Amino acid sequence: MRIALIGQAAFGAEVLKGLLQQGQEVAGVFCPPDRKGKADPLKDAAVAAGVQVFTPGHMRNQDAYDAMVKLNADLGVLAFVTDIVPARVFNAPKLGSICYHPSILPRYRGASAINWAVINGETETGFTIFWVDEGIDTGDILLQKKVPIGPDETTGAVYFDKLYPLGVQGTVEAVALVAQGNPPRLPQDHSQATYDPPCDEKVAGLDWSRPARQVYNFIRGCDPQPGATTTFKGEKVKFYNAAFIGDAPQAPAGEILEVSDKGLKVAANGGALLISRFRTKELGKVKAPDFIAALKPQVGERFGQ
């Protein structure tokens, strides 16, 4: 089966390798142009495998469509795509296109599905391979698999330890199902759909008025990107590597309860948190001892004021 692969980064490169190992014919690869002279990992993998590479500025450009048509592919595979792929491109392959998404659709549609699942305290997520249509993650389901979210796992841990490797395997498995003929096309229950905006700087502000567990979930859901944001001594500070402590002395949320090399113990509503990594504009991302040496936080001072 002739495959047109659209993707980027290490995920796209691993999908390419998996498809080739499976014996699929990857007719061409679409990935972002080189940035500052550095090629995308998917491009490097394609060149190493002797697969034709296309690097349009955008998938909506005419050259992207023309290249897709000339490939005469049976199936399009979208593996970690952040660009908008127009219908005429994803419909050009004979069987249409399939796409990987890191949630159990129809829940958590959108670009930051893992972040919001962690932020909302979900104990389970997964991935979906779906048939691409003109909606945002609305197409019929081909394959789904679930994974647990541990109570202390960050977005980074859920992705890199679980959804990355399983997603690569699942995408390759889904292509095999299509190649075998009569693959599943299960309509989504759109009445159960949820959609969240990108988890970026616009939504990264930490709300200290929320219960301690929700504050903790927000920090780990924003870790490693975009970083839960608060302020200290008038300066923007991001939190990473948080731990939930539980019960703590009564103190205003955001107040520093303890300063040590392990981190800052900070009060929250109904509990406390230990923050062991920080980011500021001047320091960059640093461990607690470096943050403490630079900003000299004291017990009784507060974040978020």
CATH of the domain at 104: 3.40.50.170
Evaluate whether residue 302 is within a structural domain: no
| DSSP percent split of the chain into helix, strand, coil, nearest 5 | 30, 30, 40
Give dist(CA 162, CA 39) in Å, integer: 26
**What is the reported pTM?**
0.96
Query: How confident is the model at residue 178, as a pLDDT?
Result: 98
Given 133, 159, 192, the domain boundary residue is 192
Query: How confident is the model at residue 182, as a pLDDT?
Result: 94
Residues 65 and 164 grouped into a single domain? yes
Domain that holds residue 269: 201-295
Evaluate whether residue 304 is within a structural domain: no
Residues 159 and 281 grouped into a single domain? no
Query: How confident is the model at residue 246, as a pLDDT?
Result: 81
Evaluate whether residue 281 is within a structural domain: yes
Token pair recorded at residue 151: 């109570």
Given 161, 192, 223, the domain boundary residue is 192
Residues 275 and 127 grouped into a single domain? no
Evaluate whether residue 53 is within a structural domain: yes
Blockwise average pLDDT, block size 10, the chain, 305 residues: 97 98 98 95 98 97 98 98 96 98 98 98 98 97 98 98 98 98 97 97 97 97 98 97 88 96 96 97 98 97 94
Query: How confident is the model at residue 305, as a pLDDT?
Result: 83
Residues 74 and 181 grouped into a single domain? yes
Evaluate whether residue 68 is within a structural domain: yes
Residues 77 and 149 grouped into a single domain? yes
Question: What is the phi-psi region of residue 96: left when phi exceeds 0, alpha when psi lies from -120 to 50, beta otherwise?
Answer: left
Evaluate whether residue 116 is within a structural domain: yes
Give dist(CA 173, CA 282) in Å, integer: 46
What separation in angstroms does the CA of 259 have from each of 150, 218, 229, 275, 301?
A: 27, 22, 20, 10, 11
Residues 178 and 249 grouped into a single domain? no
Residues 234 and 284 grouped into a single domain? yes
Token pair recorded at residue 192: 């159960």
Q: Are 217 and 155 in contact (CB under 8 A)?
A: no
Give dist(CA 77, CA 84) in Å, integer: 14
Residues 54 and 18 grouped into a single domain? yes
- What single-letter amino acid sits at 182? N
Residues 178 and 36 grouped into a single domain? yes
Number of domains in the chain: 2
Evaluate whether residue 17 is within a structural domain: yes
Residues 130 and 220 grouped into a single domain? no
What separation in angstroms does the CA of 71 have from each of 5, 68, 74, 92?
A: 11, 5, 9, 9
Query: How confident is the model at residue 250, as a pLDDT?
Result: 86
Residues 288 and 168 grouped into a single domain? no
Evaluate whether residue 37 is within a structural domain: yes
**Can you give the CATH number for the domain in which 277 is found?**
3.10.25.10
Residues 29 and 127 grouped into a single domain? yes
